Structure 1
């Protein structure tokens, strides 16, 4: 296996620091970093690079693109993701975009267009490939179909809540057709309808205490409760993603499948604004507001600074 030369773009969250050691353990190199200053002050990239033995601190994305094979984008402002990815897409490099990949339909359409044009691109939530969902599928009797699944987590509706959408899809599979908000009682309750008629349910949003990533799977013969082990998520995600970024394997899931999670979240928000009207994913348009990355990033920065 030829080691990938990986660049890290934006150091906003805890993910870059947690991922770099795993990337190295899996035989690849992190050779460059760039930070746009959304969360951290000037000079943070130098501190990060020194801590993780990364040699190159880039002042621009254009400086990074020629020297890497792949890039990982960690901007907490998801509205920056497409433009952060563009120089690497144009340079023919592989791209991984951390969750949420996009918060509006315009950006989702661009990511899908890149996929159709042959760009090697992936990302999203580590819950898409978590070991708990994979283990459930390995043990499940194909003749015992799913009746329904309830999944959820806490913290917020989208930046963290998107994990629950991915977890539900990892269990139920692709094919989400429409979404209906069931309203808010402490958390936002959401009904998702699959093309084959199955329904799944989510409960996401802030709670007084932290709730883990969970799912209760009901089949015709069994009830199984799954709770994701957070300590195993990053490795599972990187083990699934790095061979694809290196061109040595296909994707664990096509980005068009993964983006169903973001589409479903946008549809849930629209449905809530419409008083619980069912919203089909294919009917979403660029005019639908989605989730504002810049507004979330401003709050995230204040919280990081203890303000």
Structure 2
């Protein structure tokens, strides 16, 4: 049996992973067996939901009791701290979006995985929505000229600002663009903030890209959406997350564990963080 430890249990995604693995048993031979964060009411709830007997305080306390881990901490700034002991031990880790909230942390995570030979994966659920297939350029559409991705994200979020939701915009855009490498220091970004809206403009792989981040209101949240302008066509689609939106990332991770290798290159894992860091740095320079 592949034993998985769950870290960052405050995140509702952990409920999904517990349901997929322990309640519905979608992946025979794989089970969530430990929770990190101590005996909190939230962990007691998850323990009852998934019949999970082991609750520990810190990620390092998982020791040899798990074979892999899922890090879902809401604050991407904590992902390096939470994943480090697992990666150093050579255990596979699924880092729920974002991989990290800084380029330095992302690079350190990648270095840890490389040194230990551990499988590490991170990806937004928007990479798997069926609407993305509608954006494939063809002879009929011509070359993609401009891409606009919009959706909810709060630059003042306590969970690393735009990274909490904004990583979805960036990963969806990179998926549509064919996952080009965005190296640190190569992206020029212009941003404007007006009240609850942040707009960022940049060029990625020869395509003009616009991101619009709208701060969620009380009980309201702007849906994700993408519009692509081609030489001969325009495509506009909502990017819809269904109830099981975390299932494809989990399935990809478990396949990577079985294969012993991540399907996403280090450059592919780093590029979203590089892109969003460039956006947030531009916003810091031009806050209004």
Displaced runs of 4 or more, over 4 A: none
Q: Which position in structure 2 is the counterpart of 1:152?
A: 150
Q: Which position in structure 2 is the counterpart of 1:243?
A: 255
Contact 1:7 1:33 in 2 (8 A): yes
Q: Which residue, 181, 201, 222 being the options, matches 1:175?
A: 181
Q: Please give the residue correspondences for 1:23-102 in structure 2 after superposition, counting only pairs within 5 Å.
A: 23=21, 24-27=25-28, 28-35=30-37, 42-102=40-100
When the two structures are superposed, what TM-score results if normalisation uses the length of structure 2?
A: 0.83
Contact 2:35 2:55 in 1 (8 A): yes
Q: Which position in structure 1 is the counterpart of 2:125?
A: 126
Contact 1:97 1:122 in 2 (8 A): yes
- Cα RMSD (Å) of the superposition? 2.3
User: Partners in 2 of 1:221 and 1:267 — Cα distance?
Assistant: 31
Is there any run of 5+ residues in structure 1 with no aligned partner, and where?
Answer: 277-307
Distance 1:142 1:95, change over 3 A: farther
Q: Which position in structure 2 is the counterpart of 1:188?
A: 198
Structure 1 residue 43: Cα displacement: 4.0
Is there any run of 5+ residues in structure 2 with no aligned partner, and where?
Answer: 155-161
User: Partners in 1 of 2:258 and 2:75 — Cα distance?
Assistant: 28
Q: Which position in structure 2 is the counterpart of 1:205?
A: 214
Distance 1:47 1:148, change over 3 A: same
Structure 1 residue 259: Cα displacement: 2.6
Distance 1:65 1:174, change over 3 A: farther
Distance 1:88 1:115, change over 3 A: closer
When the two structures are superposed, what TM-score results if normalisation uses the length of structure 1?
A: 0.78
- Between Structure 1 and Structure 2, how many residues are aligned? 266
User: Partners in 2 of 1:132 and 1:114 — Cα distance?
Assistant: 34
Structure 1 residue 53: Cα displacement: 1.4
